[in-house]
A and B are shown apart, each in its own frame.
Chain A
Amino acid sequence: MTAVTADTAGTTGVPGVSDAAVAAEQAAHEAVFDAAVAAEERIEPRDWMPEAYRASLVRQIAQHAHSEIIGMQPEANWITRAPSLRRKAILMAKVQDEAGHGLYLYSAAETLGTSRDELLDKLHSGRQKYSSIFNYPTLTWADVGAIGWLVDGAAITNQVPICRCSYGPYARAMVRVCKEESFHQRQGFEALLALSQGTEAQHAMAQDAVDRWWWPSLMMFGPPDDESTHTAQAMAWKIKRHTNDELRQRFVDIAVPQAEALGLTLPDPDLRWNEERGHYDFGAIDWTEFWDVLKGNGPCNDQRLSKRRQAHEDGAWVREAAAAHAEKHKHTGKHGEAQA
């Protein structure tokens, strides 16, 4: 889009410049912005953007970044117990990817003028959310597979359209994230398949995990369209491309045949193909549970947040040491390292 930089976008404060002139300038910026969004151009960090657009993006990117780092916990829970070295390597790589996604996303948020420290502070104090799915526990090894297949599957369904988001840095971060998520989803499916086709005990473990993760995965798409407060504006800005219910339906349509291929049952007696709609019908979601978990009453809300806070507090002396070291050596540029 045409570059309207932050430098030129501020109010003038110059005596004699009327409110009307300021308003006209604002309207001109908005017209350029709206035209760029309409033309599917990317908004870049130095472009003028409405403050509400900026705030909405920060909220969404932060929540996404927080979800990546909180989401490390339920899977890390099984790294030390992974049942084969191959599975262990895959799981460690996956949890590492999530930390990497957190890094890209916090960086994308920084391009909007909000530091990682500030966002982490909001996460730790409960002022910003992460995806409620991570407030459910991983009780067996099969949960690792179910998370990969269902939770990452739902995440991809949500995130692929964000690769076309109007904000450039977020869209580009999502391209990388989605590539890795698609690997995560496949490994989850493959891990569940091995269990489903394994011993009777392994099959039962896989079925139990799917029984517990199916409904929370459907809730990942957020409240129904008529109760979603952010959807309309986010779609107008092309931050979001499809409604919650559209994405949820897309996910169900993909998951049902996959469950059949896995030889596992989805825990919904109302799930059936609707010829007329060309989609699967599914049963009613328990939105009471969704809101309850969101408010903090999920099985792991306290545990996840306190572990995150604890890691942050335990690491404070390390971050202080790194800062002190950098400060001491900033003039020499030597960092105490051996010089060639």
Chain B
Amino acid sequence: MSSTPDTHEAATSTGAALALGDDALILSHRLGEWAGSAPVLEEEVALANIALDLLGQARVLLSLVGDEDELAYLREERSFRNVQLVEQPNGDFAHTIARQLYFSTYQHLLYGQLASGDGPFAGLAAKAVKEVAYHRDHAEHWTLRLGDGTTESHERMQRACDALWRYTGELFQPVEGLDVDHAAMESAWLASMTDILGRATLTVPSGPRTGAWAAGAGRQGLHTEPFGRMIAEMQHLHRSHPGATW
């Protein structure tokens, strides 16, 4: 055996940092696309606030792995390790809220577990879990308003929940280096969805929670088509000036 337990631990926590860092980086970017287009001024502030929290988390996590800008701007699509859920296009406000509800509930459970342990992410998670609690509350409140608002908002919110449901299974696939109980997280997440969607007069989607592709998904570097265009936009300026500092 060539690697010591210490270097093995470092390598696995690097993979985990990349997975969590990419989740935060990509969702932050998608939320940033809302700037100037939110349905109400208060949401301009709220969505930007969430995007900034996530970007802050991403910068800490990516810096554990290497240079944050090299990792964000110079990796190819297949090297990103984020779940497919976070890269999904914003769609209408209901889709953005459904994506936030699914992701922030997962992230809150995850960071809650990491914060209570003594692993390499405990410090970051202890700070982030407070931010994410707000993200989750924000998504929950909007899910209730849209689900139990008008006929149109109810239909839009249901469609959004249904459309993104197939990306939620991946959240609970084990990630090497993350010492958490994925099964417990998944049942807590499902219980939470049942509760919130129920109170929002919405139906818990019944379709499959993962895609049929045996090759895997985001954690394996397999992404959806819109992701390539998203990172092309994100990276083009940085890549156009190799070696420049900003």
* Bitwise interface map of B from 139 to 153 toward A, beta carbon under 8 Å scored 1, else 0: 011001110111011
Asked if B93 and A83 make an inter-chain contact with CB atoms under 8 angstroms apart, the answer reads no
Q: A320-B149, A325-B144, A337-B144 are in contact. Are A73 and B36 (CB under 8 A)?
A: yes
* A14 in contact (CB, < 8 A): no
Q: How far is the CA of A103 from the CA of B149 in the complex (A)?
A: 25
**What A residues does B36 contact at CB under 8 A?**
72-73, 76, 95, 307, 311
| B16 → A minimal CB distance (Å) | 20
* A92 in contact (CB, < 8 A): yes
* Bitwise interface map of A from 180 to 220 toward B, beta carbon under 8 Å scored 1, else 0: 00000000000100110011011000000000000000000
Asked if A80 and B41 make an inter-chain contact with CB atoms under 8 angstroms apart, the answer reads no
* A52 in contact (CB, < 8 A): no
* Bitwise interface map of B from 86 to 100 toward A, beta carbon under 8 Å scored 1, else 0: 000000110000000
Asked if B48 and A88 make an inter-chain contact with CB atoms under 8 angstroms apart, the answer reads no
Q: A194-B245, A317-B156, A325-B149 are in contact. Are A106 and B41 (CB under 8 A)?
A: yes
Q: How far is the CA of A198 from the CA of B245 in the complex (A)?
A: 7
Residue on A nearest B34 in the bound complex, by CB = A76
| A147 → B minimal CB distance (Å) | 14
* B11 in contact (CB, < 8 A): no
Asked if B241 and A201 make an inter-chain contact with CB atoms under 8 angstroms apart, the answer reads yes
Asked if B238 and A320 make an inter-chain contact with CB atoms under 8 angstroms apart, the answer reads no
Task: Name the segment of B52-60, B126-134, B173-181 touching the other chain.
Answer: B52-60
Q: A318-B39, A324-B150 are in contact. Are A95 and B48 (CB under 8 A)?
A: yes
Asked if B55 and A89 make an inter-chain contact with CB atoms under 8 angstroms apart, the answer reads yes
Asked if A87 and B32 make an inter-chain contact with CB atoms under 8 angstroms apart, the answer reads no
Asked if B246 and A84 make an inter-chain contact with CB atoms under 8 angstroms apart, the answer reads yes
Q: A92-B52, A96-B48, A311-B36 are in contact. Are A85 and B41 (CB under 8 A)?
A: no
* B42 in contact (CB, < 8 A): yes
* A269 in contact (CB, < 8 A): no
| Chain A 116-144 interface residues, beta-carbon cutoff 8 Å to B | 116, 141
Q: A96-B52, A199-B241 are in contact. Are A80 and B246 (CB under 8 A)?
A: no
Q: How far is the CA of A83 from the CA of B244 in the complex (A)?
A: 10
> What are 15 pairs between A and B in contact, CB < 8 Å?
A69-B41, A83-B237, A84-B246, A95-B35, A95-B36, A99-B41, A99-B45, A100-B45, A194-B245, A311-B36, A317-B156, A321-B146, A321-B150, A322-B40, A336-B200
Known: A79-B35, A199-B243. 6 other contacts (CB 8 A): A85-B72, A86-B59, A87-B246, A95-B48, A96-B45, A102-B44
- Residue numbers of A with Cβ under 8 A of B are 69, 72-73, 76, 79-89, 92-93, 95-96, 99-100, 102-103, 106, 116, 141, 191, 194-195, 198-199, 201-202, 307, 310-311, 314-322, 324-326, 328, 335-338
